[in-house]
Structure 1
Amino acid sequence: MPAPTVVDLPHSLGRAEAKRRVAARLGELPGHLPGGAAEVHSTWRSEHELALDIAAMGQRLSATLDIQDRIIRVTMALPPMLAFMAGAISAAVQKKGSQLLLGKD
């Protein structure tokens, strides 16, 4: 399996506000994934770590969001069929993640 893909989403919200926004907007995530019929299952592993299991376009991937004071670190385990697109996926996570995090409340 390829090495994890890591994307840092910088913010100036503080840890508590960043977590609140992630929790509040988690339901919007499937609409930002390709294919339109994505399934997203989430579990809070700890106070500031969210685990995601995502199924879209016949592929499954897992991701972890580590919510820190100034960044949210997104670590993704991409399946081999998506690993060759790691750069494009990282760019999309950076763009869409920042929009979801910093968008209007």
Structure 2
Amino acid sequence: MSAPLVVSIPHRLGRDEAARRLKSGLGQAAVSVPMLKLDEEIWQGDRMIFRVRALGQVAAGHVDIADDHVLLEVRLPWLLQKFADVAQQTIRKRGHLLLEKK
């Protein structure tokens, strides 16, 4: 099995505000990427366990929310690994948009 795709996104919101924004914004983020479907989203405290589907492939991972950063870790099936760099950039960009101070 390949190494997981890991993305760390710094923020200055504090844990509670970051969690609130992620919980309310993840559905919109998934809708804005037409080839991505969020199959499962389970929250356990400050951790979200998820399963997504893209190009007929399933990827699973988790998001941990800390006081000053969010850490996403996902294991991609071999077909989606070819898109890992693009996925990492997209996750980082959309994460920053969700976690910007407003």
TM-score between both structures, scaled by the size of structure 1: 0.86
Aligned position for 1:87:
85
- Residue 24 (1) aligns with residue 21 (2): no
Q: Which residue in the other structure is 1:57 paired with?
A: 55
Deviation at residue 34 of structure 1 after TM alignment? 4.2
1:9 aligned partner: 9
Q: RMSD in angstroms over aligned alpha carbons?
A: 1.7
**How far has the Cα of 1:102 moved from its partner?**
2.3
Matching residue's letter, 2:37: A
Matched residues in 1 for 2:99 and 2:88: separation? 16
Alignment partner, residue 40 of structure 1: 39
Letter in 2 for 1:11: H
- 8 Å contact from structure 1 (residues 32, 96) kept in 2: no
Under a length normalisation based on structure 2, what TM-score does the superposition of the two structures give?
A: 0.88
Q: Partner of 1:53: helix, strand, or coil? A: strand
Which residue in 2 is equivalent to 1:71? 69
Q: Provide the identity percentage.
A: 32
Query: Helix, strand or coil: the match of 1:24?
Result: helix
Deviation of 1:33 after TM superposition, in Å, equals 2.4
Structure 2 unaligned blocks of 5 or more: none
Count of residues in correspondence between the two structures: 102
